[in-house]
Amino acid sequence: MTGLRIVRREPACSPRDWPARVHPVLQRVYAARGVAYPEELGHRLSGLLPPDGMHGIGRAAEMLGEVIAHDGRIVIAGDYDCDGATGCAVAVRGLRMLGAHRVGYAVPDRAVHGYGLTPELVETIHPVPDLIVTVDNGIAAHAGVAAAKARGSRVIVTDHHLPGERLPDADAIVNPVLARAACAQEGKGDEPSPHSSKDPATACAPGNLAGVGVAFYLLLQLRARMGKRDTVDLAQLLDLVALGTVADLVPLDRNNRALVEGGLRRIREGMACAGVTALFEAAGRDPRTAVAADLGYAIGPRINAAGRLEDISLGIECLLADDPARARELAALLHDINAQRQTLQSAMVEEAVAGLQHVEARDVLGVSLFDPAWHQGVVGLVASKMKERLHRPVVAFAPAGEGDELRGSARSVPGFHVRDALAEVDARCPGLIDRFGGHAMAAGLTLKRSNYTRFAEVFDLVVRERIVPESLQPVLHSDGELMPADFDPELARQLRWAGPWGQGFPPPLFDNVFECVGCDPLGADGAHRRLRLRDPRDGRMHDAVWFNADDRMPLNAPLRIAYELTINDWQGRDSLRLLVRHLEPA
């Protein structure tokens, strides 16, 4: 029992023209997410927004076409997370499909080269390529772009992170954020609702793409320019696009849902690349029943672990592997690295929790945490866990190496733009932050260790001035209660496959009053519970599980419980099961 409150969603529209086979509860769920009509779901690839509306994409495709025509050398400069790894693999695979014979990749070691296309990374690329294409980075790589051009390479930046006041001097820049700005300047107004049926007709470019999505769109534009729409099937890359999109937590608007569902469909039909198939096997997940949650909670973390603790090239090589045996070998290695990451993360989170006294004593709103023994590859996960615990913006720092530099990772709460907050800190105290960048909900930065205390003070001050009280109140949004007749396996199946659910398009969650008449430990460590819940309206009993359960479980007392309606398919026998997310006194 925490300060978390259950708040019921307000309908964003009225459901209309749904076929009778779609359960009324599912229609209600869709309406709460702004989807009124079946055609607004975005499950069809034919409804994708066209690539040619994206700022800079025409010039980038023209350059790529020229280099491919002259058999030039292309290097993809990736990033060390799952979005960057999948984007790198998509770019390499896609360019080869389109006729590039000399294409490779380079990715930074976070402890050696820093983030993105840095001069240090550029110096490692031999021989000097004709063209460097960044994926999921580069929008702030002023020095790296300059270093690459000084060596004789042209540079295309593809990125989805927020740009600063000045853009790098690249030969072409493809970024959906710039595309939105261009739309506004052309008088097309704000981008429409992400779930609106008017998106394809009125939005000039997809605005919420992950880095892998931007790379995929550039390939679409290049294919059109080369006249190869009928001969090159880029849909073969959608399993990788789906993985990176879900893992990077970009909003699943209509366009992204089409990309993700297209990728999931390929995975379920056994058409994924060897690496994705091997990662499902290593994670103990069945690709035939793949949903977005499998990508976000099982497959993505195994790719990310390589970039956090080892070398993201291991993940990229797994995604580029065509030999199933080699893919399984790399997937097993990624699985082991992820297990190490989980152990290290647990220890660091425990240390962070133990060090929260100063936060609680001073009522800090913008929280900064640092431990000289922490690993820089895991501080983002620590920040995320602490943000969930405290429900306020958190920045966690670790040493960046042997010198005086600290690397920080910020996570925010809904309604507070953490990247803009870092920009405000930088404006108030020039030189305090060495580098920063990111999104509304997540950002990264570096600073000198001697500046940490001052940064913590100023960051807290900026948060206090900018955050609204509602952002400090944790809420759990519910789709309302289910009637007794709605506790039906068929509805649970419809809900499972009705997504893809994820960031910005959350999975259905309901709340009802139950009485808990049974509570037993579940799992070796006893952290989970198996519950028996009685519906007081008809006396029906429901099986439920509660992972990472609260120690306090009142028996035979009315409780308001927020839950997902799921199917338990253990040992091939389907039965209804409630997945408890939160409970509070009724």
Q: What are the tens digits of pLDDT across the range 497-530?
A: 998 999 999 999 999 999 999 999 887 777 899 9
Rounded distance between C-alpha atoms, residue 209 and residue 241, angstroms: 10
Instruction: Check whether residue 263 and residue 277 sit in a common domain.
Output: yes
Q: Report yes or no on 238 lying in a domain.
A: yes
Q: Number of C-alpha atoms within 13 angstroms, CB side, residue 224?
A: 12
pLDDT tens for each residue of 108-117: 988 788 888 9
Q: Are residues 239 and 376 in the same domain?
A: no
Contacts of 569 by beta carbon, 8 Å cutoff, 6+ apart: none
Specify if 21 maps to a domain.
no
C-beta of residue 331 within 8 angstroms of C-beta of residue 282? yes
The string of pLDDT tens digits covering residues 59-97 is 999 999 999 999 999 999 999 999 999 999 999 999 999
So what's the pLDDT on residue 202?
37
Q: Could you give the CA distance from residue 56 to residue 58 in angstroms, rounded to a whole number?
A: 6
Instruction: Indicate whether 460 belongs to any domain.
Output: yes
Which residue type sits at 97? M
Task: Report residue 540 as tokens.
Answer: 């029906």
Q: Is residue 238 within 8 Å of residue 494, measured between CB atoms?
A: no
Q: In the chain, helix, strand, coil percent, each to 5?
A: 45, 20, 40
Residue where a domain stops, chosen among 304, 336, 368: 336
At CA 494, angle to CA 491 and CA 496, rounded to 5?
110
Predicted confidence at residue 481, as pLDDT, reads 97
Q: Do 206 and 100 belong to one domain?
A: yes
Contact indicator for 476, 509 with CB cutoff of 8 Å: yes
Looking at residue 123, what is its pLDDT?
A: 95
Q: Which of 472, 487, 520 is the last residue of a domain?
A: 472
Query: 251 with 385, same domain?
Result: no
* Same domain? 431 vs 489: no
If we measure between CA atoms, which residue out of 378, 433, 385, 397 comes closest to residue 80? 378
The answer to whether position 209 is within a domain reads: yes
Q: Is 22 contained in some domain? A: no
Q: What is the pLDDT of residue 585?
A: 87
Using alpha carbons, list the distances in angstroms from residue 228 to 220, 224, 341: 10, 6, 43
| Whether residue 494 sits in one domain with residue 450 | no
Is 123 found in the same domain as 70? Answer: yes
Q: Please, which residues have CB within 8 angstroms of residue 346's CB and are 6 or more apart in sequence?
A: none
pLDDT at 437: 87
* Of 168, 158, 163, the residue nearest 178 (C-alpha): 163
Give the per-residue pLDDT at 522. Answer: 86
Q: Is residue 2 part of a domain?
A: no
- Is the domain of 330 the same as that of 374? no
Q: What is the pTM of this model?
A: 0.91
pLDDT, tens digit (0-9, with 9 covering 90-100), for 312-369? 999 999 999 999 999 999 999 999 999 999 999 999 999 999 888 777 657 899 999 9
Q: Verify that 210 and 254 share a domain, yes or no.
A: yes
Asked if 306 and 312 count as a contact pair (C-beta separation under 8 A), the reply is: yes
Q: Within the chain, which residues score under 50 in pLDDT?
A: 1-2, 188-202
Chain position carrying tokens 């229609």: 27
- Which CATH number is 468's domain given? 3.10.310.30
Q: Among 280, 301, 336, where does a domain finish? A: 336
Whether 296 and 391 map to the same domain: the answer is no
Residue 394: domain span:
355-472
Nearest to 91 by CA among 107, 72, 108, 78: 78
- Nearest in space to 372 (alpha carbons), one of 320, 407, 332: 407
DSSP letter string over 32-48? HTT--SGGGS---GGGP
Instruction: Check: CB of residue 45 under 8 Å from CB of residue 262.
Output: yes
Per DSSP, the three-state class of 389 is helix
- C-beta separation of 320 from 87 below 8 A: no
Do the domain assignments include residue 272?
Answer: yes
| Burial class of residue 317, CB neighbours in 10 A (0-12, 13-18, 19+) | buried
Tell whether 295 and 395 lie within a shared domain. Answer: no
* The pLDDT value given to residue 362: 74
Residue 342 covered by a domain: no
Q: How far apart are CA 418 and CA 422, in angstroms?
A: 6
Residue 512: which H helix or E strand, with range?
strand 510-522
User: Which residues does 317 contact at the CB level (< 8 Å), separation at least 6?
Assistant: 330
- Based on the domain organization, do 466 and 511 belong to the same domain? no
- Cα–Cα dist 257/262, whole Å: 8
Strands of 435-438's sheet in order across? 367-370, 394-399, 405-411, 442-448, 435-438
Cα 471 from chain centre: 21
Alpha helices, DSSP H, located in 70-116: 82-97
CATH of the domain at 168: 3.90.1640.30
* CA-based R_g, the chain, Å: 24
Tell me the CATH number at 568: 2.40.50.460
CA distance 287 to 555: 39
What is the spatial distance between Cα 486 and Cα 538, in angstroms, rounded to a whole number? 13
Task: Count how many domains the chain has.
Answer: 3
